[in-house]
Structure 1
């Protein structure tokens, strides 16, 4: 982060905190009117952007795209080598869906790579989210209002700065349509609709409905007939997939894989259309290969990944925390018991912060109790090297007063077709930063003239 600009921003806030708290309240009102919600409430924020320059953006671009090249090798190996597939532990039904050719070349159209960024050239990846990734709408709307905020305008006037942000919404639509066009590019181009009918797909009451509505509005404005659908509402008739009377040409999949598999018997029409290649689903099931939490442990296992180069291994060792699957091996369990402060336990199938145990946040007795009470033969867990969560001084406005406090933060790096697209930042006081733990969302502003 640009710490000098951050300090200058705090100096601006200190002069008129009452004015800026009123502006913060105004931003909350605008977020409410735009339905920027989490679980029915306006997302919590601070009157605090994170500041970047193009050099940092270039560093993040190089970092993520380098990992993308490694992940492409892993995906290719999975598709080609049945013995390699066994390491992932997918069910037969899911493996069958992963092996279905989605009809376009990029297996990961949308992802968010979460990292710890320390500013010293040695960031660490903490999670790869390639299954129903979200956050683009909230971060771009937040950035739009912060670019016009009182404090940023005062900062611009004082230092002659010029700020911008990473546009994430229309650029995602463009990438989605690129995959759709490729889907029909080989020998079915005559079937391609110039303006496809689009379904944004997730199960009722499970998805980010306000985000879906925002994309629906954008797509409709661009002339695309768009509907929000539950996968169970789709019907397959004579080689076409329908929602009511509307033929669906393109699906933007937001329904996560675990939910699809739990309702496998209820979505047979969707699955038939996917297997037969008669509908373009952007968000193929094969993205689960890198979304699976076991991916870091596989990357660190040289025997399983002989196809990776030495340069790949250097990158993995530098930027991906060491990770292994926990077994009932007593030597491994004893190591975990004795090295509490350096380790994290994560269930393989988890969402947000559910079931995550950070050793240094627990007393030794509690840590040992956790280990003793998990049946590792039935519950698949990972043990991972603990990485310090980066911290930054951030502004708190309360009772018309300014406080500067230290917050921990993570950067979520959006990847469109495995190309860097933008940033989603969350901050909190704890070592686990997730929406479910009460974190705040921050806008990301890029300084153009430094």
Structure 2
């Protein structure tokens, strides 16, 4: 049976045998990526030479962990909807609560997500980093990274010895979203689809690829600025004159609530059930990081099984609200490397502070004290698994470095669909700490 550690050693060893050839091929990969569509606000995704490789054993493991996690999610969502006392733990704006509590139009609680985990490839242990159920992205980055790596000598070596597979993330989503839409009352055979976001935050290239996939299925699709949607005569319209039947929502809930008055037509259409929204606002129950705290709450423990509670204890880091009456303050200050501060409802790693990034306890204390406010949580810090990689962007003299790994699991309607891999030279993997993306490849014996 293939082992990841052995695959990585093998890949690195064949690089050492002829660095110049590998370095030369790496420049072709970098050139491809610089001209690719894997750009966000004009910045091209950066990568390293060694890809993230996974085996069929890893994929089976991911499928199972997602199945268990989504069973827990469904129970939490059911209790949120049915129990006002439990619902109050989340502390949501009443306007948002009203949107969440609307009658469900389809079975799926979370149509699309990217579940980010810290995965120890040697022991198969993991802990959760983020549940991205709003605006889940980076499908196009993985697609382009897997095209770019084909220019490298390393990939050529690997493909001669093993069967290599990438994860398909576009056609599969189109089919999934249309199947979910088909469950709704009044669904039409060929819905008019709109991909909707705040365009200053949008990943436009990715939207275009999704739109093209819908069109290949004979479905009309437009990309819409959410502020520009118009609700009239009981139907919602974008730039085109045809009414929208199905919205693929990429606008995250926190942005919608922050611009609530500016998106009044969108909100009115949703409340009137004039359009099918995928995903609906139920996704916020999982997306908001307060869930980490609530999963450990005594009220949650009462309706989870013994096995599910053990799953939470093993994989969901201890989390406390920064404005809570009880906070393990002394531990947080004196054991700074064990803690990380995060906003409850954000994305793109904005406003994240990790104790390991600060040299002195005094400096960390300043950060902690400044964020003892509503809207922030403190969480046990999970040390990422490290692997070897190499950056040939500056020439063949590059040496191997240790990188920290974060594994993003794409989930479509509760089913594992693919992987988005990121690494960092430090212990923090986020856009503000110079994250690097790697192609994710499934490796099988020939």
Q: Secondary structure at the match of 2:219?
A: coil
Give the drift of 1:406: 0.5
Partner residue, 1:374: 371
Q: 1:195 and 1:149, CA in 2 relative to 1: closer, same or farther beyond 3 A?
A: farther
* Structure 1 Cα separation of the partners of residues 32 and 150 of structure 2: 13
Q: 1:350 and 1:270, CA in 2 relative to 1: closer, same or farther beyond 3 A?
A: closer
Q: Secondary structure at the match of 1:183?
A: coil
| Contact preservation (8 Å) 2:37, 2:144 | no
More divergent stretch after superposition (14-23 vs 298-307): 14-23
Partner residue, 1:361: 357
Partner residue, 1:35: 37
Describe how 1:250-261 pairs up with structure 2 within 5 A: 250-261=246-257
Partner residue, 2:236: 241
Give the drift of 1:147: 4.6
Give the drift of 1:275: 1.4
* Structure 2 Cα separation of the partners of residues 41 and 301 of structure 1: 41
Deviations 1:276-326 (A, max 9, x none): 222111111110000111101101112344111111111111111111212
Q: 1:41 and 1:306, CA in 2 relative to 1: closer, same or farther beyond 3 A?
A: same
Structure 1 unmatched runs, 5+: none
Partner residue, 2:154: 151
| Contact preservation (8 Å) 1:44, 1:440 | yes
Coordinate RMSD, CA, aligned: 1.9
Partner residue, 1:222: 217
Give the drift of 1:273: 1.6
| Contact preservation (8 Å) 1:104, 1:182 | yes
Deviations 1:76-96 (A, max 9, x none): 100111111111111000111
Is 1:435 the counterpart of 2:435 in the alignment? no
* Structure 1 Cα separation of the partners of residues 76 and 13 of structure 2: 48
* Structure 2 Cα separation of the partners of residues 406 and 122 of structure 1: 20
Q: 1:330 and 1:275, CA in 2 relative to 1: closer, same or farther beyond 3 A?
A: closer
| Contact preservation (8 Å) 1:13, 1:20 | yes
Q: 1:304 and 1:446, CA in 2 relative to 1: closer, same or farther beyond 3 A?
A: closer
- The alignment of Structure 1 onto Structure 2 pairs a total of residues equal to 440
* Structure 1 Cα separation of the partners of residues 271 and 244 of structure 2: 15
TM-score by length of 1: 0.93
Partner residue, 1:127: 130
Describe how 1:148-227 pairs up with structure 2 within 5 A: 149-157=152-160, 160-184=161-185, 188=186, 192-227=187-222
TM-score by length of 2: 0.93
Q: Secondary structure at the match of 1:389?
A: coil
Is 1:426 the counterpart of 2:427 in the alignment? no
Match of 1:265 among 261, 268, 274: 261
Partner residue, 2:144: 141
Describe how 1:326-345 pairs up with structure 2 within 5 A: 326-327=322-323, 329=325, 332-345=328-341
* Structure 2 Cα separation of the partners of residues 373 and 29 of structure 1: 43
